[in-house]
């Protein structure tokens, strides 16, 4: 199946002297973490960048997010961060956390039409917005940021009976293939990054670098093992949101050439990434995009990674090397190979594929298309 990559389209119907009116956009996102620096992960960074980018293009954008998210995002708080401590929520039980999140999204969706939005831009990973999409008057575009999982499969299967709000896109061809059986008409808009910010910064060192959320799915412990096997020093940074994982799998591996830098803001990440000889990317799940890869290549840093999800679509023979999923010895070999790749080629690929401005243009086009289809439907 050929999956559509959404490209900007100009038509004779558009008068260049009369640009389209700004949109009123309500953005939904993941609320387990605040949308602020230092970002907990890729979705939080994406939400910040897409919201600010649409605002800067003149759109009236409102973000529904947890209470300590960045105020410049025109924030409507929907869940208190009073219990957000050391990168995680602290409730009495998982069931309490689950119910509070459910009720937060329920309240948002029950009142969403009152805001007078032209469109709801749904980037949440939650079933409630999808389940209630057929009950609201405002059209909705949903971005699929993850592979299929049970709650979303059920919600989106039901949503297909309401075509006006059953509009979807996703962030990679690999993730579109994962959803194809349920959502065969899903457009693809790759993630974009600020290429002026993520950029080369001087001469690289000899060490490798890993960064991301420190959770089992991201596989930092395997990156440590591979770097040590390859005889290459490793610096790692990230949000230790799973204390048990950090204590059991990361802390015992530190030392002897492996250094943990903590949870770094973007500017510090760029400096570390640009000065590494190679970036390690170690997904232990079907990674739907891999923003770390785009950021590394933009800094001129080649990548050694496990071949999971979209990773093979992001790298080529000039910019990195892949190992079989979970193969630490293979990753050590890939690390050695990747260090010899051209840093200029890495930057060129990032410039060609992952411009933040191109991503914004694609989303603008799709958001306007959904609004127009709803108006004429």
Predicted confidence at residue 17, as pLDDT, reads 55
What is the chain's Cα-based Rg?
A: 21
Ranking 77-81, 87-91, 274-278, 297-301 by mean pLDDT, the lowest is 87-91
Average pLDDT over every residue of 92-113 = 88
Looking at the domain that runs over 24-192+355-375, which CATH code has it been given? 3.40.50.2000
22-49: pLDDT as tens digits: 999 999 999 999 999 999 888 999 999 9
Average pLDDT over every residue of 144-173 = 86
Structure tokens at 113: 């039409």
Q: How confident is the model at residue 82 (pLDDT cuts 50, 70, 90)?
A: confident
- What stretch(es) of the chain map to CATH 3.40.50.2000? 24-192+355-375, 208-353
8-27: pLDDT as tens digits: 443 334 445 567 899 999 99
232-285: pLDDT as tens digits: 999 999 999 899 999 999 999 999 999 999 999 999 999 999 999 999 999 999
Average pLDDT over every residue of 349-353 = 96
Average pLDDT over every residue of 46-56 = 97
Question: Hunting for tokens 């190979």 — which residue is that?
Answer: 337
Residue 114 makes CB contacts below 8 A (sequence gap 6+) with none
Predicted confidence at residue 134, as pLDDT, reads 87
Predicted confidence at residue 18, as pLDDT, reads 62
* 3-class DSSP state of 66: strand
pTM summary value: 0.89
Residue 346 makes CB contacts below 8 A (sequence gap 6+) with 296, 297, 298, 299, 300, 301, 302, 303, 318, 319, 320
Average pLDDT over every residue of 301-325 = 97
> 246: burial class by Cβ within 10 Å (0-12, 13-18, 19+)?
middle
Residue 250 DSSP code = I
Distance CA 47, CA 39 (A): 10
Distance CA 319, CA 303 (A): 7
Average pLDDT over every residue of 313-317 = 95
Q: C-alpha 171: how far from its chain's center?
A: 8
Distance CA 276, CA 296 (A): 9
Yes or no: say if 260 and 236 are a contact pair by the CB < 8 Å rule: yes
Q: Which CATH class is domain 208-353?
A: alpha beta
């Amino acid at each position: 199946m050929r999956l559509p990559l959404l490209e900007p389209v100009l038509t004779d119907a558009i008068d260049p002297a009369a640009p389209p009116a700004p949109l009123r956009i309500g953005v939904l996102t993941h609320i387990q973490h605040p949308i602020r620096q230092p970002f907990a992960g890729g979705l939080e960074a994406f939400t910040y960048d897409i919201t600010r980018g649409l605002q800067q293009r003149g759109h009236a954008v409102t973000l529904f997010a947890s209470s300590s998210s960045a105020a410049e995002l025109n924030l409507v708080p929907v869940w208190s961060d009073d219990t957000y401590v050391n990168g995680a929520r602290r409730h009495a039980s998982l069931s309490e956390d689950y119910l509070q999140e459910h009720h937060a999204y329920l309240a948002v969706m029950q009142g969403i039409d009152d805001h007078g939005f032209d469109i709801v831009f749904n980037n949440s990973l939650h079933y409630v917005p999808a389940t209630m999409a057929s009950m609201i008057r405002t059209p909705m575009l949903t971005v699929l940021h993850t592979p299929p999982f049970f709650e979303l499969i059920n919600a989106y299967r039901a949503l297909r009976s309401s075509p006006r709000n059953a509009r979807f896109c996703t962030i990679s061809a690999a993730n579109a293939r994962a959803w194809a059986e349920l959502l065969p008409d899903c457009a693809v808009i790759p993630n974009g990054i600020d290429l002026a910010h993520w950029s080369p910064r001087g001469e690289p060192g000899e060490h490798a670098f890993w960064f991301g959320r420190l959770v089992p799915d991201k596989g930092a412990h395997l990156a440590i093992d591979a770097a040590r096997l390859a005889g290459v020093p490793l610096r790692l940074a990230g949000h230790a949101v799973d204390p048990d994982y950090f204590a059991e799998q990361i802390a015992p591996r530190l030392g002897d050439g492996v250094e943990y830098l903590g949870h770094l803001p973007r500017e510090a990440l760029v400096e570390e990434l640009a000065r590494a000889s190679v970036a390690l990317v170690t997904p232990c799940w079907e990674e739907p995009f891999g923003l770390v890869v785009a950021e590394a290549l933009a800094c001129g840093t080649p990548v050694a990674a496990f071949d999971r999800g979209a990773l093979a679509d992001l790298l080529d023979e000039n910019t990195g090397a892949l190992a079989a999923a979970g193969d630490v010895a293979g990753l050590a070999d890939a690390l050695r190979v990747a260090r010899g790749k051209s840093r200029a080629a890495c930057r060129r690929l990032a410039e060609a594929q992952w411009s933040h401005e191109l991503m914004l243009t694609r989303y603008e086009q799709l958001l306007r298309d959904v609004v127009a289809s709803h108006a004429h439907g």
